[in-house]
């Protein structure tokens, strides 16, 4: 009997993408769905970036480029890493890929083998574990408590490291919790990591969406981690460029070269027009960031206030970054309406979609089944409408 590859057969579609796809399907069927599921800014890509792409298209920059991106793009990334993170990288230590997602998948595949363990503090973005499993390694989930504000505690980290641990994936600001590591917290974690023999991966894709000011980078705070550290970043969230597919990794040149060999075989260079647009995004005036951040800040305040009013929803932390809230909904477990029973965050998300036509993502695949993830990357008007609907739907749930 013909079979699929064992590792591919074991993975499912990303929960966030599946939730968003369901909402899109319902919209196409004429149902008025408010989507709070998507992990993307609702803003349009800034005009200066689009203009750079138009010019590149007109100039015929439509051919293959070097696999890891043009030298001009790598230099722009180098400049960005210095300007925003005080980190020095040479072009040979940088690879541009089709989104941070591809950069992460390639680097993870290049670093880990069967038998290796990779620590993933949870709640965590749904794709980290899948990428580690696809590489044949084993994701080791390390739960971060609500009491700690979903911040990894150094002692817990120390205890989680085994002789098989080869890597850790950190993500601040966090998708899905919005938690942001402060400098003291990063130093405390760095103290543990500096004594351990493992790759330290830092996913910084939400770095500019922070409400209490920028924090120093882990590898700047503890430069001894940099020789075995990998930075991942993306233009998707910072410049509202999700659909353009451009992100990057920076790290030791052997690692970047290995990821480049993989990319050369499985996809090739990231889109040539996008690369030109990315240079403009990274090196041009950065004023749009503030406009978007101001909007996210207002939405954050509204969403926190609205969630606190919903019986059965509890917000363990006020998100200090990214554009997600991750309420605990265990107060609603065991309730039901019209035959639909709430047994976890996923079933509540399904209920809210059916009953209120509001799409959210259940917490299971983030490693936190009693939660739902709500994205507030949408207008205040949409948010108010969505929360009015959620309140009405939740009020119908009874024991
Ligand atoms: C934490 C995190 N990392 C990486 C990505 C991937 O971003 P992209 O591939 O669009 O650059 C996302 C997207 O949602 C994310 O939330």
Q: Would you say the CB of residue 38 lies under 6 angstroms from ligand 1? A: no
pLDDT at 38: 85
Is 52 inside any structural domain? no
Question: At 36, is the pLDDT very low, low, confident or very high (cuts 50, 70, 90)?
Answer: very high
Q: Would you say the CB of residue 326 lies under 6 angstroms from ligand 1? A: no
Question: At 109, is the pLDDT very low, low, confident or very high (cuts 50, 70, 90)?
Answer: very high
Number of other CB atoms surrounding residue 208 within 10 Å: 19
**Percent over 90 (pLDDT), the chain:** 92
Q: Say if residue 214's pLDDT is above 90.
A: no
Minimal-distance CA residue to ligand 1 atom 16: 175
| Ligand 1 centre distance from Cα of residue 393 (Å) | 31
The mean pLDDT of 72-81, rounded to a whole number, is 98
List the one residue out of 353, 354, 355, 392 whose CA is nearest residue 374: 353
Is 263 inside any structural domain? yes
The mean pLDDT of 258-275, rounded to a whole number, is 98
The CA–CA distances, whole Å, from 150 to 37, 250, 284, 319, 320 equal 21, 26, 35, 10, 12
Question: At 206, is the pLDDT very low, low, confident or very high (cuts 50, 70, 90)?
Answer: very high
The pick from 101, 267, 282 for probing ligand 1's pocket by mutation, whose C-beta has the most ligand atoms within 8 angstroms, reads: 101
Q: Say if residue 23's pLDDT is above 90.
A: no
Are 155 and 222 within one domain? yes
Distance CA 378, CA 39 (A): 10
pLDDT at 21: 84
Question: When comparing pLDDT for 208 and 39, which is higher?
Answer: 208
| Boundary (domain end) residue, out of 283, 300, 318 | 283
Distance CA 98, CA 234 (A): 9
Q: Would you say the CB of residue 238 lies under 6 angstroms from ligand 1? A: no
Q: Could you list the beta-strand ranges (E) of 212-323.
A: 229-234, 247-250
What digits encode the pLDDT tens for the residues 280-293?
A: 999 999 999 999 99
The CA–CA distances, whole Å, from 393 to 315, 335, 336, 341, 388 equal 19, 12, 11, 13, 9
| Boundary (domain end) residue, out of 239, 263, 283 | 283
| Ligand 1 centre distance from Cα of residue 173 (Å) | 12
| Ligand 1 centre distance from Cα of residue 354 (Å) | 27
Is 51 inside any structural domain? no
Ligand 1 atom closest to the CA of 103, numbered from 1: 9
Q: What does the mean pLDDT of the chain come to? A: 96
pLDDT at 19: 80
CATH of residue 263? 3.40.640.10
* Residue 317 structural domain: 6-44+288-396
Are 198 and 344 within one domain? no
What digits encode the pLDDT tens for the residues 38-68?
A: 889 999 999 999 999 999 999 999 999 999 9
Q: Sheet with 324-325: list strands edge to edge.
A: 324-325, 372-375, 361-362
Are 105 and 246 within one domain? yes
The mean pLDDT of 328-339, rounded to a whole number, is 95
| Boundary (domain end) residue, out of 283, 311, 331 | 283
């Amino acid at each position: 009997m013909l079979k699929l590859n064992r590792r591919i057969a074991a993975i499912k579609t990303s929960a966030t993408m599946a939730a968003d796809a369901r909402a899109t399907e319902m919209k196409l069927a004429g149902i008025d769905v408010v989507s709070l599921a998507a992990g993307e800014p609702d803003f349009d890509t800034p005009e200066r970036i689009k203009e750079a792409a138009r010019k590149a298209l007109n100039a015929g920059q439509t051919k293959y480029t070097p696999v890891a991106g043009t030298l001009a793009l790598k230099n722009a990334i180098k400049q960005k890493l210095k300007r925003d993170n005080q980190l020095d990288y040479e072009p040979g230590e940088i690879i541009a890929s089709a989104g941070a997602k591809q950069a992460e998948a390639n680097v993870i595949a290049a670093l880990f083998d069967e038998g290796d363990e990779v620590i993933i503090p949870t709640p965590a973005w749904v794709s980290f574990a899948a990428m580690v499993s696809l590489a044949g390694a084993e994701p080791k989930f390390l739960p971060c408590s609500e009491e700690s504000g979903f911040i990894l505690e150094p002692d817990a980290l120390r205890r989680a490291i085994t002789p098989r641990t080869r890597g850790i994936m950190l993500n601040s600001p966090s998708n899905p919790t919005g938690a942001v590591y402060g400098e003291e917290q990063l130093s405390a974690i760095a103290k543990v990591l500096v004594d351990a023999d493992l790759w330290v991966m830092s996913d910084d894709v939400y770095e500019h969406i922070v409400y209490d000011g920028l924090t120093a980078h882990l590898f700047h705070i503890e430069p001894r981690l940099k020789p075995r550290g990998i930075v991942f970043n993306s233009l998707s969230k910072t410049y509202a460029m999700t659909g353009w597919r451009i992100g990057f990794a920076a790290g030791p040149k052997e690692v970047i070269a290995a990821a480049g060999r993989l990319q050369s075989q499985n996809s090739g260079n990231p889109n040539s027009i996008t690369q030109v647009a990315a240079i403009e995004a990274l090196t041009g005036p950065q004023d749009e960031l503030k406009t978007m951040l101001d909007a996210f800040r207002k939405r954050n305040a509204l969403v926190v206030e609205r969630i606190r009013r919903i019986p059965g929803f509890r917000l363990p932390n006020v998100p200090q970054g990214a554009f997600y809230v991750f309420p605990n909904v265990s107060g609603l477990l065991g309730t039901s309406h019209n035959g639909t029973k709430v047994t976890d965050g996923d079933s509540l998300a399904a209920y809210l979609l059916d009953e209120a036509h509001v799409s959210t993502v259940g917490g299971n695949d983030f490693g936190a089944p009693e939660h739902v993830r709500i994205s507030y990357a949408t207008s205040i008007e949409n948010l108010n409408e969505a929360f009015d609907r959620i309140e009405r739907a939740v009020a119908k749930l009874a024991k």
